[in-house]
Amino acid sequence: MIAVVRASVPDLAIAAAVAAALLCVAYALGSRRGLKGLKQRLVALGDRLGADPLPRDPRRLEDALGHVEHATEHAAEAVAESSADAIRLRRVLDSLAQAVIVCDEHGELVFRNSRAITLMGSRHGDALAAQAVDELLATTSPGASEERTLELYGPPRRTLSVRTESIDNGQRTLGVIAVIEDVSERRQLEEVRRDFVANVSHELKTPMGALGLLAETLLAETEPEVSRRLAQRIHSEAFRISRIIDDLLDLSRIENEESPPREPVLVNLVMAEAAERVRSAAEQREVEIKLEEPSPPVAVLGDRRQLTSALYNLLENAVKFSYEGGVVEFTGIVDGNDVVIAVADKGLGIPTRDLERIFERFYRVDHGRSRSTGGTGLGLSIVRHVANSHSGSVHVDSREGEGSTFTLRLPLQGRGGP
């Protein structure tokens, strides 16, 4: 459409120039034959410009000129309308999330929307994408379509879906259009969903299998002491299954609540409650929890149950992965419009390679140690979702063998908060 509009303006200019030249020549000749030929040419020119044909041959030169003027006005309106349509089409294509590229029948680029201009930058990954798109545009045969998935390893890693299709007017090929869509997030969600199903199956199958074996052994056992130990193991595995199910329900509930109930929640009270809940586990490992609440007390808008659950999970992890006799520092301070709650330990720490994945469901840095301490692999996922649902964020700073510090940042009530 854009190419048609651009071609129409020169045609009008040429037609007007031809008409003026013919008029000058006819007047210069001053002959009836010249005037008659001029009238015929003007009528033909008006017809070519799209005017309605005259019911009869014009007897006067003015009639022929009027015919051309009418045709010129009609053509000018068509050009203006086509130009407006082209602008609207460009604006619509620029608003699309997909990149759109159009080539003519000779393979020459005639249009790219803003998304395509952004996508096909100068970076290495985008250069590979541009090369693949050019290949598809060149190889798409008339009346056919092609589709390809591109994996760009970044950083960041991205997945692009490219589809090309030949375009025509029913009589001949006009070119090829390519539509490029970034499906990275969709692909990632599919992978997370598959991993989640596999992990849930694995996490539940292990204790369920252990329960079956323990129960079978217990049925055949006659020694009271051995039976007692087996019963304790059965109780432990059952408790582990219960923890997994409870955490799954909590995570599902948090994810489904797009916006948690908003009420003033005293940060000092939530911190004290979370510390009290983990106190028993800390005493068993002889880990000291140093609690330092914000002073003066401050509040956030949110869900008290969710916030307590998030802080409890951070404290529980810190206690589990601290050395016996260690110290966990649990502090809250005001930083501008936010309250920053930190949980720091001097325990095992997290390897750098694992830092980006620790908030994934069921992801464990040390599988053996996590299971021996009763971890479900869902605690940090719960923390991340609670932070997001409260317009906050969670960050981790850790060195292997030196300990970890998890920082939860939440907007304060009445200070730019939700």
Residue 375 belongs to a domain with what CATH number? 3.30.565.10
Question: What mean pLDDT is predicted for residues 286-290?
Answer: 92
Tell me: do 291 and 403 sit in the same domain.
Answer: yes
141-146: long-range contacts (C-beta < 8 A, 24 or more apart)?
Answer: 141/166, 142/166, 142/168, 142/173, 143/168, 143/173
Q: Is the pLDDT of residue 245 over 50?
A: yes
In this predicted model, which residue has the larger pLDDT, 319 or 95? 319
Q: What pLDDT does residue 68 have?
A: 63
Tell me: do 198 and 215 sit in the same domain.
Answer: yes
Domain count, the chain: 4
203: helix, strand or coil: helix
Please state, rounded to an integer, the average pLDDT across all residues of the chain. 75
* Residue at which a domain ends, from 221, 240, 256: 256
Q: What pLDDT does residue 407 have?
A: 94
Question: What mean pLDDT is predicted for residues 131-155?
Answer: 75
Please report how the helices 224-256 and 379-389 are oriented relative to each other, as an axis angle in degrees rounded to 10: 20
Give residue-wise pLDDT tens across range 302-343.
888 889 989 998 998 899 888 888 999 999 999 989 999 999
Q: Is the pLDDT of residue 4 over 50?
A: no
In this predicted model, which residue has the larger pLDDT, 23 or 238? 238
What percent of the chain has pLDDT above 90? 16
For strands 173-182 and 393-399, give the pairing: unpaired
- What lies within 8 Å, CB to CB, of 19 at 6+ separation is 42, 45, 68
Query: Which domain CATH number covers 247?
Result: 1.10.287.130
* Residue at which a domain ends, from 204, 226, 256: 256
Q: Is the pLDDT of residue 175 over 50?
A: yes
Q: What pLDDT does residue 369 have?
A: 46
Is the distance from CB of 181 to CB of 97 less than 8 angstroms?
yes
Question: What mean pLDDT is predicted for residues 104-132?
Answer: 72
Tell me: do 399 and 283 sit in the same domain.
Answer: yes
Q: Is the pLDDT of residue 28 over 50?
A: no
Q: How far, rounded to the nearest angstrom, does the alpha carbon of residue 403 sit from its chain's CA centroid?
A: 33
Backbone angles phi, psi at 127, to 5 degrees: -65, -40
Its sign, for the CA torsion 359, 365, 368, 370, is: negative
Q: Is the pLDDT of residue 283 over 70?
A: yes
Asked which of 183-197, 210-224, 270-284, 395-409 is least confident by mean pLDDT, the reply is 183-197
Going by C-alpha positions, the residue among 347, 339, 270 that lies closest to residue 304 is 270
Domain range spanning residue 16?
2-92
Tell me: do 197 and 174 sit in the same domain.
Answer: no
Question: What mean pLDDT is predicted for residues 349-360?
Answer: 79
C-alpha to C-alpha distance for 95 and 243, rounded to whole angstroms: 47
Tell me: do 138 and 232 sit in the same domain.
Answer: no
Q: Is the pLDDT of residue 98 over 70?
A: yes
Tell me: do 327 and 362 sit in the same domain.
Answer: yes
Let me know if 335 is exposed, middle or buried by CB neighbors in 10 A (0-12, 13-18, 19+). Answer: exposed
Buried b (16+ CB within 10 A) or exposed e, 274-299: bbeebeeebeeeebebebebbeeebb
- What lies within 8 Å, CB to CB, of 117 at 6+ separation is none
Most confident of 50-54, 197-201, 218-222: 218-222
Q: What pLDDT does residue 168 have?
A: 80
What is the token pair recorded at 221?
């056992």
Tell me: do 6 and 37 sit in the same domain.
Answer: yes
C-alpha to C-alpha distance for 274 and 309, rounded to whole angstroms: 7
Peptide bond into 294 cis (omega under 30): no
AA identity, residue 127: A
Going by C-alpha positions, the residue among 220, 221, 217 that lies closest to residue 234 is 217
Going from the C-alpha of 85 to that of each of 2, 173, 192, the distances in angstroms are 9, 22, 43
Q: What pLDDT does residue 64 have?
A: 60
Select which of 70, 106, 124, 202 is catalytic. Answer: 202
Q: Is the pLDDT of residue 292 over 80?
A: yes
Asked which of 47-56, 332-341, 358-367 is least confident by mean pLDDT, the reply is 47-56
Q: Is the pLDDT of residue 8 over 50?
A: no
Question: What mean pLDDT is predicted for residues 245-261?
Answer: 68
In this prediction, residue 405 has a pLDDT band, given cuts at 50, 70 and 90, of very high
C-alpha radius of gyration, the chain, whole number: 37
Tell me: do 314 and 190 sit in the same domain.
Answer: no
Tell me: do 102 and 72 sit in the same domain.
Answer: no
Give residue-wise pLDDT tens across range 392-403.
999 999 888 888
* Residue at which a domain ends, from 66, 92, 118: 92
Q: What pLDDT does residue 418 have?
A: 47
- What lies within 8 Å, CB to CB, of 328 at 6+ separation is 282, 287, 288, 289, 290, 315, 318, 319, 322, 343, 344, 345
Backbone angles phi, psi at 80, to 5 degrees: -65, -40
Question: What mean pLDDT is predicted for residues 201-225?
Answer: 80
What is the token pair recorded at 79?
């050009």
202 is annotated as an active-site residue:
yes
Q: Is the pLDDT of residue 170 over 90?
A: no
Q: What pLDDT does residue 415 have?
A: 54
Q: What pLDDT does residue 411 have?
A: 92
Q: Is the pLDDT of residue 264 over 70?
A: yes
In this prediction, residue 44 has a pLDDT band, given cuts at 50, 70 and 90, of low
Question: What mean pLDDT is predicted for residues 106-124?
Answer: 73
Tell me: do 86 and 110 sit in the same domain.
Answer: no
Tell me: do 284 and 164 sit in the same domain.
Answer: no
Most confident of 29-43, 284-298, 402-416: 284-298
Tell me: do 268 and 386 sit in the same domain.
Answer: yes
Question: What mean pLDDT is predicted for residues 176-196?
Answer: 79
